[in-house]
Structure 1
Amino acid sequence: MSDLERTNSNKNLNSKSELLLNVKDVPFHLCKETLAKRSAIVSSLLERNKMDELPCILQDIEADPETFELIARFCYGYKVKFTSNNIVSVLCIAYYLGMNDEHSTDNLVGKASSFLETRVLPCWNETVNALRSGDKSLDKLADFELVDLFFDSLIEKASYDPRILGEPPIKNREEANEYRPNPRRRLFDNDWKSEDLITLPLRFYEPLMIRAMESRRIPVEYMVSSVCSYAKKWVFDAEESVSGKKREVVEAVERLLPHQRGLISCDFLFKTLKHSIWLEASSECRNGLGMRVSKQLDLAKPTDLRILSQGESLEDIQLVRTVITSFYSNYEEETEDVSPFVKVAKLLEGFLFLAASESSALKLDAFVALAEITVAISQGVLRYSDGIYRAIDAFLDRHRYLTESEKMEACKVLDCDKLSRQGCEEAAKNQRLPVRIVVKVLFVSQLQIRDTVAKEIRGVEEKVDEEDEEEEEEEEIRVWSDEDEMEKMSEKLLGLEIENHECVVHRWKKTKKISVWRQVKRKFGCLTTTSSSDDACTCDVKNKKKKKKKKIHHYK
């Protein structure tokens, strides 16, 4: 027996003052006058003598026995313990019963509001917990604008630290290990690990995220991270029995996801698209997800495309075709950059190999249809068809029971002329291929060898021709250089001849001058005394004296 029940039994309430209220089949025997002192609604009914309406005062509000017991205890003067789990429900019932300060001072609405403002809204964890716990009660508090208070508080805190929205988009594990809460949160909150918004019901989560996106105060990548986590919890990992709720979540997730390319992982988009088809979501939802997938198809992996074709049926293949067609329609005007088309062609080849090698449930017609799509995508984009060959080989390996005609049906998409040399070598030895395909591969291989030899011969000839041309050029250069040397030598010889001629003339002139001078000296009797030797003085007078001296003889 609770304290409230003991109090009521001690007071021995009579039938006139007693009020019986059933809250979810739990009876409460209360005093009408005691309730009327705190509740304006009960007081008004008593004043108007509408006693028959008193037992129904809670029929229009969601009230649980635990919360109503707190309300009754407050009316009887007991101290009420507020928590983030009960504060919204207490506020809702107190607001509905008119337990405000206008009716009675220091009333329940004022006390609960003060606790909400000072103890709940300043803390992220308490705010999320209170909003989640008061799911069924907040509708009655529309005039109180309590939902807006919760939303504004959460957005402000998320803008201050976006990581509390959930797991941030981390590129490597080292960044994840480096994450720590800021010192302020560690100081005032021992359990700094935040409550996740994905625990909120959809009726709160979607409008909260819309308001957060409109505020533009939170980085969009953290918003996307939260939305993806929400879909994983309520759609991917949820029980199959709640398909109706799943459909609502998928449609809401599609509305919340941005259209920005590369911001959402391909794996998530493919999973969401697949679930939207399974759950028969609205056409707007399916088309929106398909558009997002097609915009970044060149960023996907073969395992991402595998998500769409897990049923191994023609319908799944048609879904792949639809996504690819949408991709090409988005890029039909952007023809300068061909790298996205190359990536998608390689993606289709990898996906075809993956689908053919992983499961034997893939039917021949579905494989051929998927292979035709792959060939159409790779035509004019990829140089070789080795990827198609390896996918066919994997399919034949998983389906060894196929007849020769069925094998030819699987191989009809293979263009042997586009096989590389290595691909031809592998295919020529492959016993799983039909004989006609092997013969064709051998013929192609022979043509490749012939072309290779012809190219090599042509290359040698061109090299010889180039060498001959180079030799001719060198010879011509050599001839020209020889002629230049000859011309230079001729010029030198001519110069030497001119110099020699001048020397001869000079010497002749010099000799001639000396002879005249000697004649002058002989004529004038050697008047000069500047001769430097006896040979310079050769006049006749001197010679005569010598002759005379020789004729003189001295005798003793």
Structure 2
Amino acid sequence: MVHVKVYNSLLLQKILAFFSGKLRKLLLGKFKGTGRGVKVTFLDFPGGAECFELIARFCYNNGSIVLTPSNIFLLHSAANFLEMKGNIHGIPNLILQTKIYLEGIHYWTWPELVVGLKQCQDLLPVLSSSRLFQEFLDSLVEKLFMPGVASQRTSSSDSSSFQFSGDISSEGAKNYSSQTTWWFQDLGFISIVLLENLVHTMMLQNVEHATICSFLLYYQKARFFSVSIAERCNVTETVVNLICLLDEDSISYRGLLDAFGMTLSLKMSRCCMLKLESLIGSRLDQAKVDDLLVPSPPGKKYAYDSNLILRLVKIFLLKSCNEYCNYRLKKVAGLIDLYIAEVAPDPYLRPRKFAALAMSLPDVARDSHDRLYRAIDMHFEVHRGLCEDEKISVCCALNYNKLSPENVKHLARNPNFPTGLVATASVSLKSKLKTHLKEGHHHKISGENLENLRAKYERRKYKVEEGRKRGRRMAYTMRSRISSSSSSKSRSLPRLCSCGSEPMYPPNELYKHYGT
């Protein structure tokens, strides 16, 4: 609330009352019978002392003042507050003058718009419901994407030492590539309330949600280190609430993780944290294992916040059932296996929590349980004092049919595992070896081996045919010789392979002799 005092100067009060309808009503009859004025105090004068000085200058100049983007909103607000409507007797109408000037707001340059925005921020309680204020925001947003506007920036606009390092989501990168972020730094000064007004205007004008998201993440990071802890919470909660209004595919996942990391040192509201976790958990397949290694809350002995990971996995399973679910589920399973391997050596991580992590995903998510087995083995190695029941509860996450023969063999000899499970692993090992042998035998007669067998068969078939042809030619030659040598004798032609004695080559041996 701003206090402005109009001191008991009779001349000043008469001059102001001449132009202001509100002062005329307040001071009516106060000047009669006294040589001095009265004291007037305004508790909610728009723009404070600076604006009142502009009004006084306007009045002393007989209703004349140069209107500029640096004073237009101050004068317009004060004119409405003081009811400076003028009259038919020639008293200048300051309200009308400011309205006419503001009609040309679409022709303002970018620096002029920024100056006007700073004034609007100071006058928000007065301007928030004004139609002119909304027209100004519409003009500002339109200017953001007009060609050549970036070149209108002043040198001071580029002097900010903070550089935006947030990335653009892969989903929105294609659309976002045509836009620039040159205006991010220029608008980094705006307040939370003005930010909300600006973002809603952007959404009404169909600005790409990827652009809005990037600006919000920039704003949160830029303001985070320049305000108090309480204001940091307020800024972050406002940014998260606004991001939740955007299309989820346009939200930068890496930017969300950065924003989440900055909130760990703050006491955020439960509602805000749930919203942030929901946004992160629904796209958990895009995270890296380093993103999940969040330190445990203060006062906890275990190294990493495993409860957070369990919540994120649950959110992913609830919100990510679509046509890509199976592929994304396997990516999350690989991520969780890497995370489990990182937390397995933690001596303060309880077996019950470790088991919850191991069983947080359905069995279909993993094609192999080798990584999970190695993590469990490491956990048992660190926690040697576990009883059989605790070990069995952890081992319930294992599917022996999804272990490689090498790991089943290792499990069958592993003293860290419960005795009953080792016996089960031995049976599974025998089964796997039989299956492996069958698969190996099948492999020998499949693929390239099958082609080799076919080639050998064709070569052998060709050789057999050639041997038969040679045998027929030999038989024909022998018959011809016998016929010529015994043409004078009338006896029957002997069989090719008998000749009254044991044949030289039995039929089968004949074919073998010729390469069968």
Question: Do both proteins adopt the same fold according to a TM-score greater than 0.5, normalized to the shorter chain?
Answer: yes
User: Which residues of 2 match residues 502-513 of structure 1 at below 5 A?
Assistant: none
Show the counterpart of 2:486. Answer: none
Going from structure 1 to structure 2, the CA distance change for 1:26 and 1:349 (only over 3 Å counts) comes to farther
Question: In structure 2, the residue corresponding to 1:203 is in which secondary structure?
Answer: helix
Alpha-carbon separation, structure 2, partners of 1:82 and 1:301: 56
Equivalent pair of 2:294/2:304 in contact (CA under 8 Å) = no
2:210 is aligned to 221
> Which structure 2 residues correspond to residues 94-133 of structure 1 after superposition, within 5 A?
94-100=79-85, 102=87, 105=91, 108-109=94-95, 122-133=108-119
How far is the alpha carbon of 1:315 from its aligned partner? Answer: 13
- SS of structure 1 residue aligned to 2:368: coil
Instruction: Assess if the C-alpha contact under 8 Å between 1:125 and 1:194 holds in 2.
Output: no
CA contact (8 A) 1:254 1:288 kept: no
In structure 2, the residue matched to 1:241 is 230
* Alpha-carbon displacement from aligned partner over 1:129-155 (angstroms, at most 9, x marks no partner): 432343352433467523112211111
Post-superposition Cα deviations, 1:384-420, rounded to whole Å, max 9, x if no partner, equal 22322443466567xx475243883685345566444
Tell me what 2:355 maps to.
368
Q: What's 2:50 paired with?
A: 66
**Contact 2:295 / 2:303 at 8 angstroms: preserved in 1?**
no
Which piece of structure 1 moves more, 237-246 or 268-277?
268-277
**Inter-CA distance 239–441: structure 2 relative to 1 (3 Å threshold):** farther
Q: SS state of the match for residue 57, structure 2?
A: helix
Q: Which amino acid in the other structure matches residue 253 of structure 2? A: S
Assess, with a 3 A threshold, how the Cα gap between structure 1 residues 434 and 479 changes in structure 2: closer, same or farther: closer
- The structure 2 residue matched to 1:89, chosen from 58, 61, 74, is 74
Residue 346 in 1 paired to residue 307 in 2? Answer: no
Pick from 76, 84, 95: which aligns with 2:60? Answer: 76
* 1:408 correspondence with 2:395: no
Specify whether residues 122 and 487 from structure 1 end up closer, same or farther in structure 2 by C-alpha distance, changes over 3 A only: farther
State the identity %. Answer: 23
Q: Secondary structure at the match of 1:134?
A: helix
Q: Give the whole-Å Cα distance in 2 for the aligned partners of 1:180 and 1:334.
A: 31
Structure 2 residue aligned with 1:458: 441
Answer yes or no: is the 8 Å Cα contact 1:88–1:133 preserved in 2: yes
Cα distance in structure 2, aligned partners of 1:418 and 1:364? 22
In the alignment, what sits opposite 1:279? 268
CA contact (8 A) 2:168 2:252 kept: no
1:299 aligns with 2:286: yes
RMSD value over aligned CA atoms?
A: 5.5
TM-aligned CA deviation for residue 68 of structure 1: 1.9
- Structure 2: which 5+ residue stretches go unaligned? 151-156, 158-162, 477-516
Note closer, same or farther for the CA distance 1:262–1:226 as it changes in structure 2 (3 Å cut): closer
Summarize deviations over 1:311-354 as a string: whole Å, max 9, x none.
7789965554444344334454637x732121121121123234
Match of 1:204? 194
Match of 2:241 in 1: 252
The number of aligned residues is: 444
What is the alpha-carbon distance in structure 2 between the residues aligned to residue 202 and residue 274 of structure 1? 18
Pick closer, same or farther for the CA change 1:442–1:401 going to 2, 3 Å. closer
Tell me which residue corresponds to 2:502. none
Q: Decide which moves more: 400-409 or 124-133.
A: 400-409
Q: Which has the larger radius of gyration?
A: 1
The aligned runs of 1:330-479 (5 Å cut-off) are: 330-332=319-321, 334=323, 338-356=326-344, 362-373=349-360, 376-377=361-362, 379-392=363-376, 395=379, 400=382, 403-405=385-387, 408=391, 412=395, 413-415=397-399, 418-420=402-404, 433=416, 447=430, 450=433, 454=437, 458=441, 462=445, 474-479=459-464
2:144 to 158, 179, 182: 158
Q: As a proportion of its length, which structure holds more helix? A: 1
Query: What amino acid sits opposite 1:89 in the alignment?
Result: L
Q: Relative to structure 1, is the Cα distance of residues 364 and 482 closer, same or farther in structure 2, using a 3 angstrom cutoff?
A: closer
Q: What are the Cα deviations for residues 247-299 of structure 1, in whole angstroms up to 9, with x where unaligned?
A: 7515632443223x3643155068559969963354xx677655544543322
CA contact (8 A) 1:385 1:418 kept: yes
Question: Which residue number in structure 1 is paired with residue 479 of structure 2?
Answer: none
Q: Output one character per residue of 1:437-457: Cα deviation in whole Å (capped at 9) or x when no partner.
A: 997799589759955984597
Secondary structure class of the residue paired with 1:207? helix
Q: Which residue of 1 aligns with 2:23?
A: 42
Letter in 2 for 1:92: S
SS of aligned partner of 1:135: helix
Q: Is the contact made by 1:197 and 1:205 (CA closer than 8 Å) also made in structure 2?
A: no
The one of the two structures with greater contact order (alpha-carbon pairs below 8 A, sep at least 6) is: 2
Alpha-carbon distance in 1 for matches of 2:383, 2:5:
70
Q: Is the 8 A contact 1:384 1:419 kept in 2?
A: yes
- Consecutive unaligned residues of structure 1, counting only runs of 5 or more, are 1-21, 183-191, 492-556
Deviations 1:55-91 (A, max 9, x none): 5562343442233233223323399687766543333
**Partner SS, residue 75 of structure 1:** helix
Give the CA deviation at 1:26. Answer: 6.4
Report Cα offsets for 1:157-190 as digits up to 9, x if no partner: 1232699799595699xx9xx99999xxxxxxxx
CA contact (8 A) 2:340 2:357 kept: yes
Secondary structure of 2:247's aligned partner:
coil
- Contact 2:8–2:39 under 8 Å retained in 1: no
Residues in 2 aligned to 1:68 and 1:28: alpha-carbon distance in whole angstroms: 12
- How far is 1:156 from its partner? 0.9
Instruction: Name the aligned partner's letter for residue 464 of structure 2.
Output: V
In 1, Cα distance between equivalents of 2:273 and 2:142:
33
